[in-house]
Amino acid sequence: MFKRKLSALQYPNFDAVNATDEKQFRKVIAWLEENKIKKYKSNNRPISDINSSNWKKSFEQYKKDVSCPVKSNLTIEELDWFVNFALDIEYLKNKSKYDQHSLAVLKSTSIPNVVADNPLDCLDFASKDFKTGIECIAQMLKISPHPNPLVTLKACSKLICSRFNQNAIKNPNDYIIKGTAFPFEDAIKGYELGDVVLQKAAKCLRLLYIQNLRELQTQCNESIVSVQNMTANPKTDTKLGKVGK
């Protein structure tokens, strides 16, 4: 389980390490301290003597010095912690070098730079020119501008799609509103808000809400009719009919 990690640390014979073998365990710990961790000075490393009778005692002190949280007698967990600790030190020592091969950098370099053919994809929606342009369009369409230019753009788009589509241009008389304006101020009752402007706005919102409900109902009815045409075909095969006994 330590093969790839020890290989990254350039440990000799990394593919032949047996963590359950005490001698190999001591050897790996000593090598990590001497070459990667370097907690002690080179002339004062008691764990370097892997054949010493006091090695276990020195190792327990070493664990305290490096703040190893793993309990004693958990050989594999202890070795795994020290290997990971050495990897962290190695990474921080050469952080700029390894960051060049990080997943985020590799992804950014592998993504092709696609140039969009649609000029709308290149617009800066937060720029001053964009806001000014939307306000000019709204003024020509007699639409009250919204503080958010994207909301104003949505309103302009809705009006253009409904009043300036191909059918509306070919048959303008069918789309020009005629007749007397709906007296919404008198027709809609129950709004006594104490402010004339706020009261008109509330009634307009009520009309828009009713319109949305009607559109939804129309769409539901159209869906029902479409499903019925598919599932309730009334065609009858008269050849299968039988009269009498």
| pLDDT per position as a tens digit, 92-135 | 887 777 676 665 555 555 556 666 667 767 778 788 888 999 99
pTM above 0.75, yes or no: no
pLDDT in tens, 161-170: 888 888 888 8
Q: Where are the alpha helices (DSSP H) in 100-241?
A: 103-110, 128-140, 149-163, 166-170, 184-187, 196-231
Domain that holds residue 146: 123-176
| Ramachandran area for residue 174 (φ above 0: left; ψ -120 to 50: alpha; else beta) | alpha
Q: What is the CB neighbour count within 10 angstroms for residue 80?
A: 16
- Domain co-membership, 94 together with 142: no
- Does residue 22 form part of some domain? yes
- Does residue 234 form part of some domain? no
- Does residue 69 form part of some domain? yes
- Domain co-membership, 10 together with 103: yes
Give me the phi and psi of 31, to 5 degrees please: -70, -40
- Domain co-membership, 166 together with 212: no
The segment with the largest mean pLDDT, out of 32-36, 204-208, 216-220, is: 216-220
- Domain co-membership, 9 together with 92: yes
- Domain co-membership, 151 together with 203: no
Rounded to an integer, what distance in angstroms lies between the CA atom of residue 206 and that of residue 215?
14
Rounded to an integer, what distance in angstroms lies between the CA atom of residue 33 and that of residue 82?
9
- Does residue 237 form part of some domain? no
* Residue % of the chain over a pLDDT of 70: 84
Rounded to an integer, what distance in angstroms lies between the CA atom of residue 53 and that of residue 34?
20
pLDDT in tens, 126-151: 888 889 999 999 999 889 888 888 99
How many folded domains does the chain comprise? 3
